[in-house]
Amino acid sequence: MKTVVLVKYVPEPTATWKFAADLTVDRAAVEGRLSELDEYAVEQAAQLQEKGVASEVVFLTVGPAKATEGLRKALAIGGDKGVHVLDDAIHGSDALSTSLVIAKAIEKIGRVDLVLAGMASTDAELSVVPSMVADRLGLNQATFAGELAVDGGTVSIRRDSDAASERVSAALPAVVSVTDQTGEARYPAFKAIMGAKKKPIETLSLADLGVSAAQVGLAAAATKTIDVSPTPARAAGTIVNDDGTGAAQLADFLAGRGFI
């Protein structure tokens, strides 16, 4: 079973982000890392390969040159090779364009049985790309998996919500997004980190995928950022000195804000 895992190199969530003149994130001005939410998908793929279910695991990323670092981190956890779609014209692409590039890259990789992804990226947090990719490829999909298993030609997941815990099955080939409930990704040993440097990474351009530059990028985006401003600093909280009326003060505070 050939498995492709979608991974993204994102700005460090705890860093101070900067924005370029075109109001896109200035990714060169901030340190990056493999999206933490994608690490859960990487771990699931590694486990499937260790169980003998996945015969080949390919990590796929779309992004600038430094995105290779995310691929190397994934390859240190497991897998066989990486594919990096690198093209300056992709800069500023929205989810629609990104899903197009990913779908074309998966087609380029060849016959794929399972596509794994995190539930969202830690920069955009849209949670829509896996579904868009499934739609573009005409594949079945199962989203927000808290547990995943593959048996023959079927992938089964457990999806937990506030109201219920659901069991969902889909025939392969399929696209599955996973949550942090599937379990933390392992920390790769030094030997695995060094071994990842020897694993092949193929670089593809838009021309290699048959995608026109006019179909992607900031100019083709269906959404537009019109303004960026820093989040206001938090105001000082209200201190309640309990002189015997503390409970009443707290109740008034909550009632005044519509909580009770």
Residue 113 has pLDDT above 90, yes or no: yes
Helix or strand run (H / E) with residue 74 = helix 68-77
Q: Give Cα 106 distance to the centre of its chain.
A: 16
pLDDT for the residue 209: 98
Q: Across the chain, what does the average pLDDT equal?
A: 94
Long-range (24+ apart) CB contacts under 8 A made by 170-173 are 170/140, 170/141, 170/142, 171/140, 172/1, 172/113, 172/114, 172/140, 173/112, 173/113, 173/114, 173/115, 173/139, 173/140
Residue 93 has pLDDT above 90, yes or no: yes
* Cβ–Cβ < 8 Å for 60, 109: yes
- Among 150, 109, 154, 158, residue whose Cα is nearest residue 133: 109
CA distance 40 to 177: 10
Residue 13 has pLDDT above 90, yes or no: no
CA distance 177 to 168: 12
pLDDT for the residue 69: 96
* Cβ–Cβ < 8 Å for 209, 203: no
pLDDT for the residue 84: 98
Residue 92 has pLDDT above 90, yes or no: yes
Confidence grade of residue 233 (pLDDT, cut at 50, 70, 90) = confident
What distances in angstroms separate CA 127 from CA 38, 132, 243, one per listed residue? 12, 10, 48
pLDDT for the residue 105: 98
Residue 224 has pLDDT above 90, yes or no: no
Q: Each residue of 25-61: pLDDT tens digit?
A: 888 888 999 999 999 999 999 999 999 999 999 999 9
Please report, for the chain, the start and end positions of each structural domain, with discontinuous segments joined by +. 2-220
pLDDT for the residue 241: 83
Residue 83 has pLDDT above 90, yes or no: yes
Residue 203 has pLDDT above 90, yes or no: yes
- 16 secondary structure, DSSP code: -
How large a percentage of the chain has pLDDT more than 70? 100
CATH 2.60.40.10 fits 2-220, yes or no: no
pLDDT for the residue 139: 98
Helix or strand or coil: residue 149?
strand
- 152 secondary structure, DSSP code: T
State the helix-helix crossing angle for 36-50 and 68-77, rounded to 10 degrees.
40
The C-alpha angle with vertex 223 and arms to 221 and 225, in degrees rounded to 5, equals 110
Residue 18 has pLDDT above 90, yes or no: no
Confidence grade of residue 230 (pLDDT, cut at 50, 70, 90) = confident
Confidence grade of residue 237 (pLDDT, cut at 50, 70, 90) = confident
Pairing of strands 56-62, 81-85: parallel
pLDDT for the residue 56: 97
28 versus 132: the higher-pLDDT residue is 132
Confidence grade of residue 196 (pLDDT, cut at 50, 70, 90) = very high
pLDDT for the residue 12: 92
